[in-house]
Amino acid sequence: MPRSAIINVMVQAAMKAGRSLARDFGEVQNLQVSLKGPGDYVSQADRRAEEIVYSELSRARPGYGFLMEESGVREGEDAQHRWLVDPLDGTTNFLHGIPLFAVSIALERQGQLVAAVIYNPAMDELYTAERGGGAFCNDRRMRVAARGRLSDAVVGTGIPHLGRGDHGQALIDLRNVMAETAGIRRLGAASLDLAYVAAGRFDGFWEDALSPWDIAAGILMIREAGGFVTDRKGGHEMLSTGSVVAGNEAIHRALLKVLAKPLR
């Protein structure tokens, strides 16, 4: 599949950062037995990956702005373009030697998401999407799953943990969705959750309290794979609300309905 110039730039940055993470990931299990633990090492791996992405993208497209998990906002001379970067989504998985983590890069142009790359180096899975150009996994076109009933659906989500998220609302949501679906999964990396919806592996996904860099790339991928993405109120300000509900048209609509219910 021929890629555009901008996707090539993003793929190069993601894969270079991914190779760095893969090397560091290989050391994590050795660090598990140390007295200090691997926390500081993983933080360094995260920062190294972010600097690689920043260096690659800023060299290829000087002047574009950045919003990054570790470094925050870096303003650019070109106010029309902004990169949204999560250099290591799934840090806790990485920390525990679980091979579900990713480099996630999205490009905004005049406030619209126009290009996306998500790369899981542990599994060598590369997801790409460009506005109007479709979505792909390792150059194979992706389409959202066709199941139309929640009772047949496997749905991804994120579960709040210590110090983060509304545990009470999450338990209500889990109870209600569990009662309607064939199964719920938690990968621990929102970018991969959304990529899995685009690939048809998950039929749907919902989560709250997410950051823009967690979800920007995945939102575009689902749209380009024929899916629907809104916040839990049906709005389109996911990057500011941090709320995401996704699936094909039928599953998305059904999830919104279930998530609006009180605890039964």
pLDDT single digits (tens) 7-26: 999 999 999 999 999 998 98
Reported as a pLDDT band with limits 50, 70 and 90, residue 43 is: confident
pLDDT confidence of 136, banded at 50, 70, 90? very high
Question: SS3 for 120-131, per residue?
Answer: ECCCCEEEEEEC
pLDDT at 146: 98
pTM value is: 0.94
Distance CA 5, CA 128 (A): 13
Tokens of 145: 């799953």
DSSP state letters, 105-168: EEEEETTEEEEEEEEETTTTEEEEEETTTEEEETTEE--------GGG-EEEE----TTSS-HH
Is 250 in a helix, a strand, or coil? Answer: helix
**Helix, strand, or coil here: 264?**
coil
Distance, in Å, from the CA atom of 93 to the CA atom of 99, rounded to the nearest integer, reads 7
N- to C-terminal Cα separation, the chain: 49
Return the number of other C-beta atoms located less than 10 Å from residue 138's C-beta. Answer: 11
* pLDDT bracket for residue 143 (50, 70, 90): very high
Neighbour-count burial of 139, counting CB atoms closer than 10 A to its CB (0-12 exposed, 13-18 middle, 19+ buried)? exposed
Which pLDDT score, from 0 to 100, does residue 58 have? 97
Q: Residue range 202-218: average pLDDT?
A: 97
Average predicted confidence (pLDDT) for the chain: 92
Instruction: Give the pLDDT of residue 92.
Output: 87
Domains and CATH numbers, the chain: 5-141 (3.30.540.10), 150-259 (3.40.190.80)
